[in-house]
Structure 1
């Protein structure tokens, strides 16, 4: 993530409260939250991403819950504690989180993207959040919402991009200079679902990447230690670079992680380090944010099995092996940053809107052959100035 404070790569976690998950907005426990944030900070992290459950914060289109807003402000204060010092990205319209749907009842089936009355209610919520925490020293910026293509799959990319541009512009108006982004998952990049890849690569302060070997299908396609799993983040970062208007646009690896459901638990720490190093080899990657900080307490029974064991910390704030490995890696990378690979050979992506793993196969095979390629859109192959600006001297076609 390109920080509003510096350009060095940053490291953080998607905060998952250890005691009450994000039901914490209702079961508020500042003591356990402070303990959690201390544990996160001890790993060397410098930021967290937090999730506002939309129905809790806005139970009616005309009403924003002041108690919830006060608890968000209190969380920001805890993040500013001398033992913590974590910046906070606030994801607002969270109707989809950890595999569960949290859309407000008052939507009544209306679109959160194309219904003007709903959009006005959303702007009201952003205004209220900005009023409470937009000036806080730990406020990093707004994330429009978590993986909004999932509950809005019937929205066209044109409509989605128009909506995102409007809301991101509003965020800049109410919280000038903030690191405002749209927290898309892999679907806009791979399928142009709800949002276009061009929109994801040009709107907001960074191109957001959610890179899960499991949910993208990469681990099934390539195997746990296949090139397509170890270099998935690098591929998606290069895909974002191909769609960007300027070389080196900031990219935020906003979510990545692995569960014992998909691979042996003892293999996750080594995968995590390799994945981070490979992703940082792409120009402009400004931050890596693991999902999530803590495991989910097993007293909650409604989550799919994949979600429970994703933490770097247990629910008792014990550091897990992946947490220890990433803490060591972060210390090393701050002393010895990964240098972006010079990519003078570029693979021309195939025509058509699908840029998913079918298009990625050739990218990964080139890596196996010792080439770390860039990606180029077909419409840019004759744009000499664009290619030169990216340092590309040779094109390979499918």
Structure 2
């Protein structure tokens, strides 16, 4: 799960309550989960380009220690440059009107923060890896994809140098995959240890396009995983469904457990899925008044650590999948994505219609249709071009 602290949201770094955090992590572990993703608010951890907040870093270490508690045992992915989170922009004031991706002075400051985080937690037994930041295409929409890709490659290479062998990723949302915003799909499928997928029927527009229980909603994660596979240079590159979830804003609450289980099962039919990470662990406390309504009820747990119906359903699913995992589908039919098409979900319509016809296709880029070794390596025997 993406950890959302029950007491103080991610303002927790300023209002630190380790007892509450331990209770939360116990509850997360109690659902059978094995990892959490945590968010560093960038201006809290780096109040000045030359200064890293050591108190915040010590609290991060304490969170890691709590995750290693005998009652918890959760691995922790650390998302670092969080300038966008849950509908709020958290860019540091010192950034001004400079670009965090193209301004060299800013990039040097970012590397300083990554060095400090790795120095404090890089060797921790519960440290899973570094995530560059949460959905960075949102506050950097004007950055050209070529520049974004260079930046991501540089920082992820640096992450590997300072914390070798861990799972370092760029936590992109759907826009790079669908629109090439800030980062290209090829870049998202090449840099770091896994291709990251944020698959929300609400935010992608799938629920509006296909209906609440349409194929394009139930199989959205599968489609995005296959899109990542199409762009990957090698078959089976790990794919991390890093964020997915549903709110009562978009569908009746009683329908969310069925959707969640079906969504996970369908996504796991794609080869190479590393893991699935629900957003989020806990609801947002309604004493905070400024979040958009969508954000408040996304948790599998209440702010009092009571298990919600979707949490109970996914806990049973986790237990089942550990003994009877979903087998990836052999995708012998490849659906070709024509050059110049693929904006938004337009290119997904044919994929979902094939699923309705009983075919679970792979996706193939138009430039790869004559690459027989690539197609053979993916087990593709037939191409559909319409």
TM-score range, shorter chain: over 0.9
Q: Which residue in 2 is equivalent to 1:278?
A: 266
Q: Which residue in 2 is equivalent to 1:9?
A: none
Q: Which residue in 1 is equivalent to 2:323?
A: 335
Return the TM-score normalized by structure 1.
0.97
Q: Which residue in 2 is equivalent to 1:169?
A: 157
Retained in 2: the 8 A contact 1:349–1:355? no
Retained in 1: the 8 A contact 2:41–2:83? yes
Q: Which residue in 1 is equivalent to 2:278?
A: 290
**Counterpart check, 1:113 vs 2:101:** yes
* Alpha-carbon separation, structure 2, partners of 1:108 and 1:196: 26
Partner-residue secondary structure (3-state), 2:327: coil
Q: Deviations over 1:150-177 (max 9, x none)?
A: 0000000000000000000000010011
Q: Which residue in 1 is equivalent to 2:79?
A: 91
Q: Which residue in 2 is equivalent to 1:359?
A: 347
* Alpha-carbon separation, structure 1, partners of 2:343 and 2:269: 21
* Alpha-carbon separation, structure 2, partners of 1:222 and 1:342: 25
Give the Å deviation of 1:356.
Answer: 2.5
Matches within 5 A, 1:232-251: 232-251=220-239
Structure 2: which 5+ runs fail to align? none
In 2 relative to 1, CA 368–353 (structure 1 residues): closer, same or farther, beyond 3 Å? closer
Q: Which residue in 2 is equivalent to 1:18?
A: 6
Give the Å deviation of 1:346.
Answer: 0.8
Give the Å deviation of 1:381.
Answer: 0.2
* Alpha-carbon separation, structure 2, partners of 1:123 and 1:140: 19
Q: Which of 191, 194, 217 does residue 205 from structure 2 map onto?
A: 217
Partner-residue secondary structure (3-state), 1:215: helix
* Alpha-carbon separation, structure 2, partners of 1:258 and 1:327: 17
Retained in 2: the 8 A contact 1:205–1:250? yes
Q: CA RMSD in A?
A: 0.6
Retained in 2: the 8 A contact 1:312–1:320? yes
Give the Å deviation of 1:355.
Answer: 4.2
Retained in 1: the 8 A contact 2:341–2:347? no
* Alpha-carbon separation, structure 1, partners of 2:343 and 2:243: 19
**Counterpart check, 1:309 vs 2:287:** no
* Alpha-carbon separation, structure 2, partners of 1:81 and 1:203: 33
Q: Whose RCO is larger (CA < 8 A, sep 6+)?
A: 1
Q: Which residue in 2 is equivalent to 1:6?
A: none
Retained in 1: the 8 A contact 2:222–2:270? yes
* Alpha-carbon separation, structure 2, partners of 1:185 and 1:39: 27
Matches within 5 A, 1:1-398: 13-352=1-340, 354-398=342-386
* Alpha-carbon separation, structure 2, partners of 1:369 and 1:391: 20
Give the Å deviation of 1:286.
Answer: 1.1
Give the Å deviation of 1:208.
Answer: 0.2
Q: Deviations over 1:276-315 (max 9, x none)?
A: 0000000000100000000000000110000000000000
* Alpha-carbon separation, structure 2, partners of 1:168 and 1:285: 20
* Alpha-carbon separation, structure 2, partners of 1:294 and 1:353: 38
Q: Deviations over 1:9-54 (max 9, x none)?
A: xxxx000000000000000000000000000000000000000000
Return the TM-score normalized by structure 2.
1.00
Partner-residue secondary structure (3-state), 2:202: coil
* Aligned residues between the structures: 386
Give the Å deviation of 1:353.
Answer: 5.9
* Alpha-carbon separation, structure 2, partners of 1:256 and 1:17: 18
* Alpha-carbon separation, structure 1, partners of 2:163 and 2:234: 25
Give the Å deviation of 1:95.
Answer: 0.2
